[in-house]
Amino acid sequence: MSDLNGRVIVLGVSGGIAAYKSVELLRALQKKGADVFVVMTENALKFVGELTFQAISKHSVYTDVMKEDTPDKIRHIDLAEKADGVVIAPATANIIGKIANGIADDALSTMIMAVKAPVMICPAMNSWMYESRAVQRNLDTLSEDGFHIIDPDEGYLACNVTGPGRLPEPYYIADRVEAMLVRKDFKEKKVLVTAGPTVEPIDPVRFISNHSSGKMGYKIAEAFEKRGAKVTLVSGPVAIDPPYNTEVVNIKTADEMLLKCQERMENIDIIVKVAAVADYKIKNRAEHKIKKSEGGLDLVLEENPDIIKTLGKLKKPGQIFVGFAAETRDLEQNALKKLESKNLDMIVANEISGKNSAFGAEENKVTIFTKNMAPKILDMMDKKVLADLILDSILEIENDR
């Protein structure tokens, strides 16, 4: 479930070599549930045929202001009105210049003039053109006018030049279009999220750990980023892609996680500890690989620091601390005990055994406990949807203060 589900996105394609990537972008937006309408400039039509976009979008492509085939509507106004968001990818120097200077002389620039929804511009061109004073000046103007500008990637370009100018990958642009439409109710907030397992070495090749995949924590970090927060994600080893536009700090052990969190606590407004921290580490950790021998092996465990409790002792007024409680029984009782003993403002309790185990799953079923509000017993749901509900509860705590 994405924030683009059921939204209307207008995809503007101007005449650059990267226009072929717009077909993939159309698909990426559709995968997120968007209904996509395509507008092309005359030059874009020389790179990719409109039939390709029409076949995939299931809508006729708008290419000519003077060709009105639906007499009951004025097409550029109709598209501008129905758009929840617009993305122009690729945006050539020409279309950037036109929009920045109020020129409306083709289907795309005319439609843009009437749009009230957020517009994203994805410049793609030769590096020297991109760096030219005219293009940079026009991009500055667009930025000041409230357009969302996505920096081009650097790389080898069709013109045999290496530098900035490549259109970013379609799935990245689609993610940024989604972020553009999300409410920014955590704007300016500095958030620290921990996720994944910690890994405690036994010897150089073996370790103890747990089944955390990082999915829950990463979805929470992603939701914060999309809602405008500046996010640091301190993560144990996981096999999933990090959220965009987020500082990711990779750690292995609980000691490392504590250190990295402590270093970043100073200006943090909200901390959410989703990580499944190993409560114990190996006391007699071997320097070399332990050789197999008769008679078994004794490992001595010593307690790891309780990270959130340690940080909780330094908690400043105004900071919000959220923990997770992973329980196999007595969910409420154990969660409430942790809420109190760890000096938390909120705890999200979930099951980690049986068929509803939160470990590794795409979905999770939780109860949210706070100090002052009634518990919220939520249904089983996708971790992405749940992440947003957890953020809503954090806002409630803030508004309650």
Which spans of this chain sit near ligand PMT (rule: CB under 6 A)?
212-217, 254, 273-277, 279, 304, 306-308, 323-326, 338, 342, 350, 352, 358-360
**Peptide bond before 90: cis, by omega within 30 degrees of 0?**
yes
Tokens describing residue 120: 């994203």
Least spacing, CB of residue 401 vs ligand PMT, in Å: 21
Compare residues 173 and 254 and give the one whose CB is closer to ligand PMT. 254
Write down the least CB distance from residue 290 to ligand PMT, Å: 25
Judged by beta carbon, residue 62 or residue 321, the one nearer ligand PMT is: 321
Nearer Cβ to ligand PMT (35/345) = 345
122 is catalytic: no
Give φ, ψ of 298 to 5 degrees: -100, 125
CB of 299 to ligand PMT, least distance (A): 18
- Comparing CB distances to ligand PMT, the nearer of 110 and 350 is 350
Contact 195, 233 (CB under 8 A): yes
Catalytic residue among 1, 158, 159, 297: 159
Would you say 33 or 237 has its CB closer to ligand PMT?
A: 237
For the CB of residue 326, give the shortest distance to ligand PMT in the complex, in Å: 4
Name the residue nearer to ligand PMT (CB basis): 109 or 213: 213
**Long-range CB contacts (within 8 A, 24+) of 280-286:** 280/200, 280/208, 280/304, 281/200, 281/208, 281/253, 281/254, 281/255, 282/200, 282/201, 282/202, 282/208, 285/201, 285/202, 285/203, 286/202, 286/203, 286/204
Question: Minimum CB separation from ligand PMT for residue 202, in Å?
Answer: 18
Least Å distance, CB 275 to ligand PMT, is: 5
- Rounded least distance, CB 249 to ligand PMT, Å: 15
Q: Which is closer to ligand PMT, CB of 320 or CB of 326?
A: 326
Residue 208 CB, nearest distance to ligand PMT (Å)?
Answer: 13
CA-closest candidate to residue 322, choices 290, 369, 354, 278: 369
Residue closer to ligand PMT, measured from CB, 51 or 239 = 239
Task: Just list the catalytic residues.
Answer: 159
